[in-house]
Chain A
Amino acid sequence: MKILVCISKTPDTTAKIAFVEGNTKFDENGVQWIINPYDEWYSLVKAIELKEKDPTTIIHLVTVGGADAEPIIRKALALGGDEAIRVNSISNDSFSVATSIAQVAKEGAYDLIFTGKETIDYNSSCIGSMVSAMLDLPFVSLATHLELNGTTATLKREIEGGEETCEAILPIVVSCQKGMAEQRIPNMRGIMAARTKPLKVIEPASIAASTTIKTFELPPAKSGVKLIDADKMDELVKLLKEEAKVI
Chain B
Amino acid sequence: MVLIYIDQADQQIKKSTQEALSYGAAIAKQLGTTAEALLLGNVSDNLTALGNYGVTKVHHINNAQLNTFDAKVNATVVAHAAKKLNATVVVFAHNINGKAIAPAVAVKLQAGIVTGASSLPDTTNGFVVTKTVFSGKAFAAIQIETPIKVISLNQNSFGVHTQEATAIVEILDITVPAPSIKITSVDKIVGEIPLTEASLVVSGGRGLKGPENWGILLDLAKSLGASTACSRPVSDADWRPHHEHVGQTGIQIAPNLYIAIGISGAIQHLAGVNRSKTIVVINKDAEAPFFKAADYGVVGDAFEIVPALTAAIIKSKASA
Interface residues on A, range: 35 or more
Q: Cβ of A67 < 8 Å from any Cβ of B?
A: no
Known: A211-B145, A216-B139. A95 touches B180 (CB 8 A): no
Residue in B104, B200, B250, B295 whose beta carbon sits within 8 Å of that of A132 in the complex: B104
Quick check: is A5 within 8 A (CB to CB) of the other chain? no
CB nearest neighbor in A for B143: A212
CB distance B72 to A137 under 8 Å? yes
Known contacts A95-B113, A212-B143, A225-B295; decide if A141 and B248 are in contact (CB<8 Å).
no
- Residue pairs across A and B with CB atoms within 8 Å: the count is 268
Q: In the assembled complex, which residues on chain B have CB atoms less than 8 Å from the CB atom of A165?
A: 183-187
- B132 contacts partner chain A, Cβ-Cβ < 8 Å: yes
Judge if A13 is at the interface, Cβ distance under 8 Å.
yes
Contact present for B184 and A212 (CB under 8 Å): no
Is A161 an interface position by the 8 A CB rule?
yes
CB of A22, distance to nearest CB on chain B (Å)? 12
A57 beta carbon closer than 8 Å to chain B:
no
Which chain A positions have C-beta within 8 A of B189? 161-162
Interface pair B248/A37, CB less than 8 Å apart? yes
- From the candidates A139, A208, A214, A226, name the one contacting B143 in the complex (CB within 8 A): A214
Q: Which of B88-142 contact A (CB under 8 A)?
A: 95-96, 99-108, 110-116, 128, 130-142
**Could you tell me which residues of chain B, from 189 to 209, have a CB within 8 Å of some CB in chain A?**
189, 192-197, 199-200
User: Is B298 in contact with A230, judged by CB distance below 8 angstroms?
Assistant: yes
Interchain Cβ contacts under 8 Å between A and B, 17 examples: A118-B99, A121-B134, A125-B116, A128-B103, A133-B103, A133-B107, A138-B180, A159-B9, A159-B96, A161-B192, A178-B245, A211-B143, A214-B140, A216-B140, A228-B296, A241-B316, A246-B278
Beyond A128-B103, A213-B142, A227-B298, 13 extra complex contacts between A and B, CB < 8 Å: A120-B271, A123-B132, A129-B99, A130-B103, A133-B107, A141-B99, A162-B188, A166-B182, A178-B245, A210-B106, A211-B113, A219-B138, A234-B316
Chain A interface residues toward B at CB < 8 A? 11, 13-14, 17, 19, 37-38, 41, 94-95, 98, 118, 120-130, 132-134, 136-142, 154, 158-168, 178-179, 208-219, 222, 225-231, 233-234, 236-241, 244, 246-247
